[in-house]
Amino acid sequence: MPLLPKTPPLSRRTLLRGLGGSAALGALGALAGCGVPAAYVAPGDRAATDRSATERRLTWANWPLYIDTDDKRPNRRPTLEAFEKETGISVDYVEEINDNDEFFGKVSPSLMNHQPTDRDLIVISDWMCGRFVRLGWVQEMDRSRQPNVTKYLDPLLRSPAFDPGRKFTVPWQSGITGIAYNRRRLGREIRHVSDLWAADLRGRVTLLSGMDEAFALLMQGNGVDITDWETDDFHLICDQVEKQVAKGQIRRFTGNDYIKDLSSGDVLACQAYSGDVIQLQADDPDIEFVVPEEGAELWAESLMIPNLARHKANAERLIDHYYRPEVAAELAAWVNYVCPVPAAQDVLASSGDEETAALAEDPLIFPDAAMRGRLAIARDISAGERAEFAKRWNGIVGV
């Protein structure tokens, strides 16, 4: 098993910019209103002739630094090369996704006009996956080709509101939005979302600027079931955050630059992603990550097969390869996100390398039973809600 990477992977939880996806969806709606055919694609129009049997290849679009590499030869990807060797299927692996909305803008003209994207497999955040599913831009997977997905996918991730039963999506990696803090500098524990508003943290707290990234944890602090929240729950959060901004409690709203603020001590507590904190702890063991007692959001970036993909069966086979526990373990040891294959924990635990085996006990890679009981997947922000909510949230954040 590979050891921890020496440089931290880039986070995949990118923030919304401006109105983000609401602008894109608004543009689609405007086109439909002007007589242009609606962007939705019916199930019968999504598939192309599958060339998998005769063309032993596929194209896979992913984020940078989101797959294992060889320490001595960074251009080599061991788990992917193992798949190619075993199956004879060559994979054109393209690290082209840097932002969910940016990628949406790149492929949406093809998808809304019923044209191929020249990609057989893509990985985007679940809130954006929900948009693709609603628009009918991705194909239902054939689970008969994916016995490992059927057997090993984490029960917590099996049926999000945007894709009941995970017919169109399969998690690539998962993670938790919780609270990170420096216990030595703060001098006490943080156990609740409301602890962020304590007087000794005035001006030393940051929240995430992206609406999709920030809202669920704050709602959970109010005792809201984030799988079934209401409009009033969102506006109450906005009211509370506005109050804390006015008091000077919140230093600023951030993307992943909270990492720098927390490391320097400028910030003592912040909304954070579990995968980032694993890397921060390697340099500073005083930094802790907490799933508040009220709960935290479990999220994923997921694999999807876009409409008119020419190598669907090959893509389904690749997805299933990564759900073998031994392959999932090798990937988890490198990327350090929450592994969507709990069975990989035993594989890591049996490693002869002490540092690798220790990863099996890290609750930020394999949450324990107590932590799992406090995790939930938030229901998606619907297309009808997004413009209103984004306007309110971005007004607070200052976007």
| Per-residue pLDDT tens digits for 170-192 | 999 999 999 999 999 999 999 99
% residues pLDDT > 90 (the chain) = 85
| Per-residue pLDDT tens digits for 102-134 | 999 999 999 999 999 999 999 999 999 999 999
Query: Residue 393's closest CA among 166, 264, 236?
Result: 236
Q: Measured between alpha carbons, how far is 259 from 254 in angstroms, rounded to an integer?
A: 9
Q: Measured between alpha carbons, how far is 265 from 181 in angstroms, rounded to an integer?
A: 10
Q: Measured between alpha carbons, how far is 318 from 399 in angstroms, rounded to an integer?
A: 39
Query: Residue 121's closest CA among 66, 159, 76, 176?
Result: 66
Type of residue at 58: L
Beta partners for residue 178, in sequence order: 272
33 vs 199, more confident: 199
Q: Measured between alpha carbons, how far is 348 from 282 in angstroms, rounded to an integer?
A: 19
pLDDT for the residue numbered 374: 97
- Give me the mean pLDDT over the 212-230 stretch: 96
CB-based contacts of 325-333 (< 8 A; 24+ apart in sequence): 325/152, 327/79, 327/82, 328/152, 329/1, 330/1, 330/2, 330/68, 330/78, 330/79, 331/67, 331/68, 331/79, 331/173, 332/359, 332/365, 333/1, 333/2, 333/3, 333/4, 333/68, 333/359
pLDDT for the residue numbered 282: 87
pLDDT for the residue numbered 191: 97
| Per-residue pLDDT tens digits for 327-374 | 999 999 999 999 999 999 999 999 999 999 999 999 999 999 999 999
| Per-residue pLDDT tens digits for 45-64 | 999 999 999 999 999 999 99
Which structural domains are found in the chain, ordered by start?
Answer: 43-174+299-366 (3.40.190.10), 175-298+379-397 (3.40.190.10)
Strands (E), the chain: 57-62, 90-95, 121-125, 170-182, 205-208, 250-254, 269-273, 287-290, 296-304, 375-376
Query: With 50 as the cut, is the pLDDT of residue 10 above it?
Result: no
Angstrom CA distances, 293 to 148, 250, 270, 319, stand at: 33, 21, 16, 34
Mean pLDDT of the chain: 91
Q: Are 291 and 374 in contact (CB under 8 A)?
A: yes
